[in-house]
Amino acid sequence: MKYLLRRLLHSLAVLFGISLLSFLFAGMAPGTYLDEMQLNPQISPATIAVLRAQYGMDRPLPVRYLRWLNSVAHGDWGYSFAYNLPVAPLIWRRAKNTLWLTLPATLLAWLVAIPLGVFAANQSGRWGDRIAEAGTSTILVVPDLILALALMIAAVHTRTFPAGGMSSVNVQKGRIADIHDLLWHLTLPLITLALGILPVFFRHVRAGMLEALASPSLQAARALGLPPSRILFKHALRLAANPVLSLFGLSMASLLSSSLLIEVVMSWPGLGAMLLEAILARDLYLVIGAVMFSTLLLLAGNLIADLMLYTMDPRIRIGPSQ
Amino acid sequence: MSNSEPQPLVSIRRLSKRYVQGSLWSKRFEISALKNVDLEVATGSNLALVGESGSGKSTLAKCLAGFEEPSSGEICFEGRNLLALGAKQRARTRRSIQLIFQDAASSLNPGFTAEDILLEPMVIQEEGAPEERKRRCVEVLEQVGLARLLLRRWPHELSGGQRQRLVIARALIMKPRILILDEALTGLDLSIQAQIVEILRQLRKAHGLTYLYVSHNLGLMGAIAEEIAVMHEGKIVERQSVQQIFRSPQHPATSALLAAIPGGSLAFVSRPERPTI
Judged by CB atoms closer than 8 Å, whether chains meet at A235 and B109 is answered as: yes
Judged by CB atoms closer than 8 Å, whether chains meet at B107 and A219 is answered as: yes
Q: Model confidence at A27, in pLDDT bands (50, 70, 90)?
A: confident
Q: Which pairs with CB-CB distance under 8 Å and at least 24 residues apart come from A175-183?
A: A182/A100
Contact A190, A104 (CB under 8 A): yes
Q: Which chain B residue's Cα is nearest to A125?
A: B23
Judged by CB atoms closer than 8 Å, whether chains meet at B108 and A318 is answered as: no
Q: Which chain B residue's Cα is nearest to A321?
A: B157
Q: Which of B108, B121, B173 sits opposite A217 (nearest CB)?
A: B108
Judged by CB atoms closer than 8 Å, whether chains meet at A219 and B99 is answered as: yes
Separation in Å, CA B145 to CA A122, A136, B197 = 37, 51, 12
Judged by CB atoms closer than 8 Å, whether chains meet at A318 and B107 is answered as: no
- For the segment A133-167, what is each residue's pLDDT rounded down to a tens digit? 999 999 999 988 898 899 889 888 888 888 778 87
User: How many CB atoms sit inside 10 A of residue A159's CB?
Assistant: 8
The CATH code of domain A95-279 reads 1.10.3720.10
Look up residue A154 and give its amino acid. A
Q: Between residues A182 and A195, which one has the greater pLDDT?
A: A195
Distance, in Å, from the CA atom of B4 to the CA atom of A46, rounded to the nearest integer, reads 111
A to B CB pairs, distance under 8 Å: 79
Instruction: Report, as ranges of residue numbers, the positions in chain B whose pLDDT lies below 70.
Output: 1-6, 23-24, 263-277
Predicted local confidence at residue B23, as pLDDT? 66
Whole-number average pLDDT of chain B? 86
Residues of chain A found within 8 Å of residue B92, distances taken between Cβ atoms? 225
Judged by CB atoms closer than 8 Å, whether chains meet at A220 and B107 is answered as: yes
Percentage of residues in chain A having pLDDT higher than 70: 98
Q: Which of B99, B154, B159 sits opposite A223 (nearest CB)?
A: B99
Predicted local confidence at residue B49, as pLDDT? 95
Q: Which pairs with CB-CB distance under 8 Å and at least 24 residues apart come from B84-92?
A: B90/B66, B91/A225, B92/A225
- For the segment A85-142, what is each residue's pLDDT rounded down to a tens digit? 999 999 999 989 999 999 999 999 999 999 999 999 999 888 999 999 999 999 999 9
Q: Which of A213, A217, A242, A322 to mutate to test the interface with B (most CBs of B within 10 A)?
A: A217
Task: Please state the domain extents for chain A.
Answer: 95-279
Give A172's DSSP letter: P
User: How many CB atoms sit inside 10 A of residue B206's CB?
Assistant: 9
Distance, in Å, from the CA atom of B117 to the CA atom of B140, rounded to the nearest integer, reads 12
> Would you call B179 helix, strand, or coil by DSSP?
strand
In sequence order, what are the residues at sequence separation of 6 or more whose Cβ sits closer than 8 angstroms to the Cβ of residue B82? B66, B75, B76, B90, B93, B94
Alpha-carbon Rg for chain B in angstroms = 19
Predicted local confidence at residue A316, as pLDDT? 83
Q: Which chain A residue's Cα is nearest to B167?
A: A220
Touching check for B111 and chain A: CB below 8 Å? Answer: yes
Alpha-carbon Rg for chain A in angstroms = 24
Instruction: Report the complex ipTM.
Output: 0.73
Most distant CA atoms of chain A, gap in Å? 85
The answer, yes or no, to whether residue A190 has pLDDT greater than 50, is: yes
Q: Which of A218, A219, A224 to mutate to test the interface with B (most CBs of B within 10 A)?
A: A224
Separation in Å, CA of B266 to nearest CA in chain A: 37
A63 exposure class (CB count in 10 Å sphere: 0-12, 13-18, 19+): exposed
User: How many CB atoms sit inside 10 A of residue B183's CB?
Assistant: 19
The answer, yes or no, to whether residue A322 has pLDDT greater than 50, is: no
Q: Which of residues 245-284 of A touch B (CB under 8 A)?
A: none
Give B157's DSSP letter: G
Judged by CB atoms closer than 8 Å, whether chains meet at B124 and A230 is answered as: yes
The answer, yes or no, to whether residue A76 has pLDDT greater than 80, is: yes
